[in-house]
Amino acid sequence: MVTNLPDSRRIDVPPALAVGGIAALVIVALVALVGWISGLLGSEEPPSAAPDASDLTAGTCAADLPQPTWVPDGVTGAAVECPEAISGRIGYLASTDHIGTWVVYSLSGDANAEALPGSAPETWKRADTDGGGIHPAASIVFVAYPGADEISEELHGANVTVDSVDLEDGPKARLTRVDNNGYGPVRLEWTDDDGSYLLLTVVGRTPAGRAGPTVDELIRMASSVAPQG
Amino acid sequence: MAERSTGLVHIAGIVVGVALVAYMVSFGDQARNGWTDRDRVGACDNIAGDTAGGEVLAVQSVLWAVEGYEPVDSKWDRGTENATRAFQSYAGLPADGCVADPTWVTMRALAVSICAPGHDCGGPDHRIALASPVEPREAWFAAADCDWGTYVLPGVARSPVSSGQTYAFREDELEPLGCKD
């Protein structure tokens, strides 16, 4: 009995094509390996921490002062005024030893932007003056008085409310609001072992909405004040 | 016995009197510090407010710092009224152009001590300075034992106001700040 096996057909691959294919496979493997390794390395990086707000005063006279390490998201920058500069503005302050250092934080957003007509006030339109359409830029003022152990005298008035609030892991602060139908100035003042501090803002009424930070944000800023240096 | 009772009544009267005077002095300090003892200034409905003098100068100085109002000349006019209305509206107050207690207190709350509380740095001791993208604007004030004063910077003061002078918050008059014994 004879079994007929099918013909085994041999495929002849040109050597040049084989070399090219192998080279391509090696390149793809290398690229995949590099990607895999870099992915591994990236996954070992620690999660990015929230930026420290004290970086905003780096290189200024406020850099070594206790100051907020947290600010609201809308804060775009900080302008620092040193005691010597403040004294120089007026010319005859007797001493700079007890003058506070000011950090003025600017805020983003339409409601927080300065809206001034640029014309003489007698020409301002009644709709603008009475509708909140003419207003300053919203800001947060922080003042640090190093070595001081007092806060300012308490304000009084029919539209003034004064409360004591607990700062996180810290002292109590005096919260003063001039409450004009939910708007108006807000002051937060406290002392610790290093000095006396004030945070001031205005909750403003504008056609674009409420201007300034919330009271809770101001308290969180105060809670984040930490010694520097 | 009757004489002794009379003496006790006298002592009680003296104690009550001293306490009453102390309370009144304390209340006066609070009012002066909070600017709630000020006259009405500006366009007030039935009772005319001050239209010139030291208190108008104080209001205009605040308006300069907040809104860039000028001229700061201690004279109330249509422009001052417009700027006051804008300030009131932004701060949540009724925009009526009359600077009475609610507006005075709102303005006072913006003033920050230059010197550490409890210390004297020898000059104007309070300042209003908010963020401004164009130019720095600020108002300076001094708190004396008897009254508050406004110090107007050069370039901001307009006649009859002089720069380098601290003017008392007086009604009608434009007088240098000074306490009389």
Given A102, A121, A147, which is nearest B82 (Cβ)? A121
Domain that holds residue B2: 1-33
- Let me know whether B67 and B8 are in one domain: no
- Let me know whether B151 and B80 are in one domain: yes
Given B70, B90, B134, which is nearest A135 (Cβ)? B90
* B176 falls within a domain: no
The one-letter code for the residue type at A195 is G
- Let me know whether B72 and B1 are in one domain: no
- How many structural domains are present in chain B? 2
- Let me know whether B144 and B120 are in one domain: yes
* B181 falls within a domain: no
**A-to-B residue pairs, Cβ atoms closer than 8 angstroms:** 202
> Given pLDDT bands bounded at 50, 70 and 90, which one contains residue B18?
low
C-beta separation of B84 from A141 below 8 A = no
Q: In the predicted model, is pLDDT for residue B75 greater than 90?
A: yes
- Output the tens digit of pLDDT for each of chain A's 229 residues: 444 545 544 556 666 666 766 776 777 677 666 656 655 554 444 555 667 999 999 999 999 999 999 999 999 999 999 999 998 887 766 677 889 999 999 999 999 999 999 999 999 999 999 999 999 999 999 999 998 999 999 999 999 999 999 998 778 999 999 999 999 999 999 999 999 999 999 999 999 999 999 999 999 999 999 776 5
- Let me know whether B67 and B151 are in one domain: yes
The residue assigned the tokens 């002051």 is: A187
CA distance B65 to B140: 9
C-beta separation of B37 from B103 below 8 A = no
C-beta separation of A104 from A143 below 8 A = no
Question: Hey, what are A157's tokens?
Answer: 């008035």
Q: What digits encode the pLDDT tens for the residues B121-133?
A: 878 999 999 888 7
CA distance B117 to B33: 13
Q: In the predicted model, is pLDDT for residue B159 greater than 80?
A: yes
CATH classification at residue B134: 1.10.101.10
Q: In the predicted model, is pLDDT for residue B166 greater than 60?
A: yes
Mean pLDDT within B146-175: 92
Given B89, B92, B105, which is nearest A182 (Cβ)? B92
- Let me know whether B58 and B18 are in one domain: no
How crowded is residue B75: how many other Cβ atoms within 10 Å of its Cβ?
Answer: 19
Mean pLDDT within B66-73: 95
Task: Kindly state whether B143 is in contact with chain A, defined as any CB-CB distance less than 8 angstroms.
Answer: no
- A52: three-class secondary structure by DSSP: coil
- Let me know whether B28 and B48 are in one domain: no
What contacts B139, CB < 8 A, 6 or more positions away? B61, B62, B64, B65, B111, B127, B128, B129, B150
Q: What is the pLDDT at residue A111?
A: 96
Q: What is the pLDDT at residue B44?
A: 86
- Let me know whether B145 and B90 are in one domain: yes
Task: Kindly state whether B58 is in contact with chain A, defined as any CB-CB distance less than 8 angstroms.
Answer: no
Task: Kindly state whether B93 is in contact with chain A, defined as any CB-CB distance less than 8 angstroms.
Answer: yes
Mean pLDDT within B39-48: 79
- Let me know whether B29 and B44 are in one domain: no
Interface pTM (ipTM) of the complex? Answer: 0.86
Contact B85 A129 (CB under 8 A): yes
* B100 falls within a domain: yes
Q: Which residue of A has its CA nearest to B102?
A: A159
CA distance B57 to B12: 46
